[in-house]
Chain A
């Protein structure tokens, strides 16, 4: 059994038949293999896990510079650090906490939690976070009042509620995401064919 993980651009209109999906979801599904995909809330990126993808399709995704292929979940990031961090940050995925001796599985788990925080934001009907000039380095204090409340509401909506009492005016969006993810249960997270 060979599992693979990818970050891909989001495509589709959200209408059934052209649903929101990862760039290569149709090609992956056509291979008849188990897979799962996760949206980054309203942001234009998907995380994808596959089982037994063909070498041909894998190589196509690897060669696509709009995508990021995780080489092996259980090896250290090592000298791939800069490339991985730059790619993630280009998609507004906080990555400044990633270090070379972490495994890709450890990193993907946290990224998947970031995605779930963004999903909840969208599910509660709140607008996309990274609009109107908001970036990972935007401080909580400089956010519009509505966005501040959105982030507090999202944290409070999880069971158990995630604590935001340490968030100050100087806390950045990237720090808020990481701080919330650090409070996630340590239990394994199932993402289709992989366990994180």
Chain B
């Protein structure tokens, strides 16, 4: 169920408005040409949606209007369970970001009180106007491209927080449009996780 939306169709402004709040001491997003863009391309940005008390399990989703870059762990994307509190020490959030690198262009990571840990990387064929989605249900984080699961992993560090938008520096251009956040339905949690088959691991050394 959709709980909040923002199409960013309003006059250019350095502030997204009262529906949005900076997570911790990250940089901000602003409205530009009816889209949202990072205020600074050389600093990480995270803003959480403040329109309501978000359920612990939720999703955040947006159209990637423009993306660039090939730097590892850089990208534009969305966030979940972001701290609703601004200020140093509150940089706590899960996020996924995407860029145009040929491999490992999708990064799931967490900040816990500003301590950064990369959780997973994979290769996805992102193009402009794709919809990127991050779902969190229990301890499972699921990334979707246009509704199809492309990456999933698990982490238990963050219990609750808000859906939001994020940017990981550095890129030359990045923007999002038509953001929405909502609840994660039961079918998604139990019925669509990918299964890896045909495994033939290399021998180890125990």
Q: Give A contacts to B, CB under 8 Å.
A: 1-4, 14-16, 19-21, 25, 29, 32-39, 41, 51, 53, 55, 58, 62-63, 68-74, 80, 83-84, 87, 112, 116-117, 119-120, 122-125, 157-159, 185, 187-195
Please indicate the chain A residues that have their CB under 8 angstroms from the CB of B92 in the complex: 123
Closest Cβ–Cβ distance, residue B77 to chain A (whole Å): 15
Interchain CA distance A20-B119 in the complex, whole Å: 10
Contact B156 A116 (CB under 8 A): yes
B193 at the interface (CB under 8 A from A): yes
Please indicate the chain A residues that have their CB under 8 angstroms from the CB of B120 in the complex: 34-37, 192
Contact B202 A190 (CB under 8 A): no
Interface segment among B16-24, B125-133, B146-154, B171-179: the answer is B146-154
- A84 (CB) vs chain B CBs: closest residue: B206
Interchain CA distance A112-B104 in the complex, whole Å: 23
Asked whether A39 and B153 contact (CB < 8 A) given A70-B204, A187-B190, the answer is no
Q: Give B contacts to A, CB under 8 Å.
A: 44, 56, 72-73, 92, 102-104, 109, 112-123, 138-140, 142, 151-159, 168, 190, 193-196, 198-206
Q: Interface on chain B toward A: helix, strand, loop, or mixed SS?
A: loop
Instruction: Give 14 new A-B contacts, CB below 8 A, not counting A1-B198, A124-B159, A195-B196.
Output: A3-B199, A14-B116, A16-B44, A36-B119, A38-B155, A51-B196, A53-B202, A70-B201, A72-B203, A122-B112, A123-B159, A185-B138, A188-B195, A191-B154
Interchain CA distance A68-B56 in the complex, whole Å: 35
Q: Which of B142, B158, B196 contacts A193 (CB 8 A)?
A: B196
Q: Which of A38, A70, A72, A157 contacts B159 (CB 8 A)?
A: A157
Please indicate the chain B residues that have their CB under 8 angstroms from the CB of A29 in the complex: 72, 104, 121
